[in-house]
Every structure is written in structure tokens, then in C-alpha cells.
Structure 1
Amino acid sequence: MGNDRADLDRTLPIIDRKFPRMSAVTVAPVRDRLLEAIRREFMPLRFGAEMLARAAKKTPRAARNWLSDKNAPDAEALIELMASSENLRNEVLMLVAERQHARGADTCPGSKSGCDAGLFG
């Protein structure tokens, strides 16, 4: 008799831990565009990986992984990069605007400010 958990783990799909619960179709273009924007900003620089690491408050190894397309930055690093680079901030905002346009009028239920007092009280 084998280890049932090991068999189960082999059958489950591997999910990218940076973008959990999203389909690969949705994540790949966003990830690729984000990493491309990071490369455009930092690859031409002589010490680009070190400067990227400093801007994101992460290790140079993490920055080299981003530049080589092995990993993508986590949310905290992305916010730091957006704060330090106007080009990266504009690219992310463009991605958000494209996503909003694709959704049309659909918004999250909690995004409306104020509420109808008759519903809750």
C-alpha cells in the first residue's frame, strides 16, 4: 500500500504561487507585460539587477530572476517598483484600465460607496 497523499499530490495541478486561483490564459499576458516593462526599465542599465533589487526592496537574486523571466515580483515588490518608476506605474495602470474596459459595467459588489440603509437596518 502506498502513500495516498503522495498519489493525490501528483494528480493535482501545479499553481503558480504568485498568481493563485487564476487561469493561465489570464495570467500569462499580464505577467509577460509586467516582466517586459521591468526589463525595459532595468536591463539597459549597467547594474540593472542591483538597482531593481534596491527599488523593490528585495534581493539581487530575486531581481535577476525577474529579469530572466523565471519569476514575477510579489505584490509588495510590485508596489515598491510602481512607487519608484513612473514607467512601471503607467504600465500597471494601463493593464488595470484594459481589464476594466474588458469587464464593461461589471464591478465588485463592495466597490460602490455608500449603501442603502433599508437593506441593512
Structure 2
Amino acid sequence: MALALFMAGGLAGCGSGSGSAGTSALRSSPSETGQQEDARFLAIVEQQGVLSTKPDADLVKLGHLVCQDDLGMLKAAPNLAAAEVVSKDHSLTQAEAEAVVQAAIRIYCPDMAP
């Protein structure tokens, strides 16, 4: 519902000069985009059967951590990135961590795909 309202508000104000409703919708778009990305990330993780004991917000943080990739692990050795995820969330198996890494790459940093 919020997405539909956002889209309608954005379209109503787009190029029509019709006041502040469109402007405020446009200002909130980065937040909306981030929420949409997070929802897509969590949906993929759930579809892959990842069973973390951590809250969704912590899984999202893990996904963003994957994309920081300070050591260049994603392209060189994605399994090491998954091992790093396991070290941050001990409730995950290696296979689940690999699913988190793949979902993070797909949603948050597709340019870092191996």
C-alpha cells in the first residue's frame, strides 16, 4: 500500500508543477528504494531457506557487509565471503551463508558479481 501511494504521489507531481505532494514523494525515494531493496533481499534469503536466529535487520546488515568487500573476496573467492558471514552469524550453515552472499550481490552490489 505504501508503495502504491508513493508511486501515485510521485507520478502526480512529476512534471506537472502541482505542488508539494510530488516533491515530498520524490524526496523520500532513497528511503523507499532502500526499503524495497531490503525487502527483495529478505525475500530471496527466505526463498533459499535461510534460517537465521537473527532479526531481519541483522540479516540486512550482513548483506550490506558482504558488499563492503574490503578484501576483494567476492570476485576472488566467494566461499571466503560466506565464511565471513558465518563468523558474524553462527546460526547460519555454510550453505545458508552462501545464499546470503548471493542475495546480497544480486540486490545490493550486482557490479561485484564474480
Regarding TM over 0.5, the answer is: no
TM-score (norm 2): 0.34
TM-score (norm 1): 0.33
Question: More helix per residue: 1 or 2?
Answer: 2
